[in-house]
Structure 1
Amino acid sequence: MDTLTRIRAFIDVVEAEGFSAAARKVGRSKALLSKYVRELEDDLGALLLNRTTRQFSLTEAGHTYYRTASDILKEIDNLADLVREGSKDLKGRIRVSAPRTFADADIGRSLIDFAAAHPDVTLEIISDDRFVDLVEEGYDVAIRITRLEDSGLIARKLSAFSLIACASPEFLEQHGPITHPSQLAGMPCIVDTNGRTLNNWPFENKDGSVFSVSVHGRLEVNSPLTAMRAAEAGLGVAVLPDFIFKERQDQGKLVPILADYLLTDRGIYAIYPHRRYLPAKVRAFVDFLSQWFKTNP
């Protein structure tokens, strides 16, 4: 029996969280999968799974083996993709993590356009505002809107990105002109809790030095879209992603402020694990997004 077949059976069982669920998913009998896993354990001389009638769990050895075996199989599958990548017919599944803000905004159209252009690729998009662990959670690629930091991941910049401080015309008329970020400490602000700085908003002086202003308000929300609507309603100053602000700019409900003090070191990035053999479908996906943003600045 092929060792790779046994390894795939083990991984299928782990990821489906049981033999019955794995059998339904891969179209093989529960007995056959059980046989493959038992043979793998015999070869290794170690128990990988704890089995009872009601519970299923990995042993310590099983955890270690699963992580390493998953990486090995991905490399084998990716190598096969690399050999086939001369073909224009991309196939398979791409698991993508993207912020809700990205997926729900106009720029989320880039994901839909890719799916339309590649009908044989299944695009699984998980909208999540947290920074997922790509390797541990099994993602092929993540879209991140942030200042790029050093990591063991590969990043490709898709587009420049900036934040825009803004408020409604009525709010500005009531609170007077806002000419310096320090003024925000004494007036209502809308805090988007998705941001890493929370209510300590960073700004940049003309000499490049960075400083922060502690802000407060009656609304804290983990949604730039809700923060935008609150600012339009006159509840305070909001700091919004530029692509969110520009969608409503023509309506005149928000006025940009403090443009000379906002940080400019942000970007929209495609992040993916460092792999020796990057799957052709992932490379095509990232290439498509890069070109999409060039065509739709």
Structure 2
Amino acid sequence: MDTLTRMRAFIDVVEAEGFSAAARKIGRSKALLSKYVRELEDELGALLLNRTTRQFSLTEAGHTYYRRASEIVREVDSLADAVRESSGDVRGRIKLSAPRTFADAPIGQSLVDFAKEHPDIVLEIDLDDRFVDLVEEGFDLAIRISRLESSSLIAKRLSPFSVRICGSPELIAKHGMPTKPQDFARLPCIVDTNGRWLSNWPFKGDTSDTISVSVSGPLEVNSPMVARAAAVSGLGFAILPDFIAAPEIIEGRLVPVLDDRILQGGGIFAVYPHRRYLPAKVRVFVDFLAQWFKAREAA
């Protein structure tokens, strides 16, 4: 049995957080995976996993080996992808991290459309609103919705993105229309704890500076969908992604306020690590998303 096969078995076990879960995921027996990992440890002369009857954990050597082995396996797979691409055969598995907001919104249809158009590529989607470490956690790429900061990652802008501050007509009738950012300090606000700003909302200042206004209100939640529902019900003003707010604005259930004071420059990005070989499957996926959003904007 070759080292690469044992290496893949070890990575599968670590990422599935157990032998049984890994066996179910990849369709191999638990006993076979345990055999491969044991052979790998014998080959290395080092213990990689601490095993008990209830759980297992990585040893210090295991952590080091997992990081480097993951990089090596990705490089091997990327090289194989490059060869397949030259023959027009693109297949494999893409491990994608994406925010729940993206998947729950209409733009999440882009992922379904890709899977439908590319049946030879398995799209494994992990929905999480945190910013994952792509290399450390073994992701091929991630969708990020934000103002992109400096990073060691490669980023391709898929679509513009902005936020809207919205309130219900009933809320505005009761409290009045905000005329300046500082008004939100005295108004009820819905705090989306997924947002990087939390309860300190950023705005364009009167000049070219950026100001922050501390807000509070009856609800704090880590979901823009719930924040939108709360805003529609009149609980408070909320900062919402434009693609989340748009349907309610069109129907008149939400009213956008102070659009001219919202910071611009955000976007929806596909981000992926610097690699010697960019896997063909990742390139195909990113190109598909770029075309999907381009067609959506033109419609």
Give your verdict on TM over 0.5: yes
Aligned to 1:133: 133
Residue 191 (str. 1) matches residue 222 (str. 2): no
Runs of 4+ that moved beyond 6 A: none
Question: Paired residue for 2:109?
Answer: 109
Cα distance between partner residues in 2 of 1:290 and 1:280: 15
Deviation at 1:42, TM superposition (A): 4.1
Aligned partner of residue 270 in structure 2, secondary structure? strand
Which residue matches 2:235?
235
Deviation per CA, 1:103-151: give whole Å up to 9, x if none: 0111111111111111121112122111112122221111111111122
Q: Distance in 2 between matches of 1:219 and 1:261?
A: 24
Q: CA deviation at 1:243?
A: 0.7
What is residue 69 of structure 1 aligned with on the other side? 69
Bigger mean CA offset, 55-64 vs 22-31: 22-31
> Aligned partners of 1:83 and 1:169: how far apart in 2?
58
Mark the CA change 1:21 to 1:163 in structure 2 (over 3 Å): closer, same or farther. closer
CA contact under 8 A between 2:161 and 2:267: conserved in structure 1?
yes
Structure 1 residue 17, shift from structure 2 partner? 4.9
Q: 1:26 Cα deviation (Å)?
A: 5.1
Determine the structure 2 residue equivalent to 1:30.
31
SS in 2 for 1:182: helix
Q: How does 1:18-167 map to 2 (within 5 A)?
A: 25=26, 27=28, 30=31, 34=35, 36-50=36-50, 56-167=56-167
- Contact kept? 1:166, 1:231, Cα under 8 Å: yes
Q: Does the Cα contact within 8 Å between 2:249 and 2:256 map onto a contact in 1? A: no
1:142 is paired with a residue of what secondary structure? Answer: strand
The amino acid across from 1:159 in the alignment is: S
**What amino acid sits opposite 1:107 in the alignment?**
I
Deviations 1:1-30 (A, max 9, x none): 533234334434444555566566453683
Shift of 1:38: 4.5
Q: Which residue of 1 aligns with 2:215?
A: 215
Please report the TM-score for the alignment, with normalisation by the length of structure 1: 0.90
Distance 1:53 1:232 in 2: 50
Q: What letter is aligned with 1:155?
A: A
Q: What is the deviation of 1:156?
A: 1.1
Distance 1:203 1:7, change over 3 A: same
Aligned residues: 296
* Structure 2 partner of 1:261: 261
Change (3 A) 1:27 1:233: closer
Residue type of the partner of 1:227? A
* Distance (whole Å) between structure 1 residues aligned to residue 95 and residue 59 of structure 2: 27
Letter in structure 2 aligned against 1:215: V
The answer to whether the 8 A contact 2:19-2:33 is kept is no
Describe the shift of the 1:52–1:102 C-alpha distance in structure 2 as closer, same or farther (beyond 3 A): closer
1:162-205 Cα shifts (integer Å, max 9, x gaps):
11111112221222232111111111111111111111100013
Q: Say what the alpha-carbon RMSD is for the aligned residues.
A: 2.3
Shift of 1:278: 1.5
Offset, 1:277: 1.2
* Residue identity matched to 1:71: E
Structure 1 stretches lacking a partner, 5+ long: none
Does the aligned pair in 2 maintain the 1:23–1:33 contact within 8 Å?
Answer: no
Normalising by structure 2, we get a TM-score of: 0.90
Comparing 12-21 with 209-218, which one deviates more in the overlay?
A: 12-21
Aligned mates of 1:50, 1:84 — CA distance in 2: 38
Q: How much does 1:291 deviate?
A: 1.1
The 3-state SS of whatever aligns with 1:107 is: helix
Q: 1-side partners of 2:22 and 2:266: how far apart?
A: 42
Q: Partners in 2 of 1:100 and 1:31 — Cα distance?
A: 35
- The answer to whether residue 226 in structure 2 is matched with residue 226 in structure 1 is yes
Amino acid at match of 1:70: S
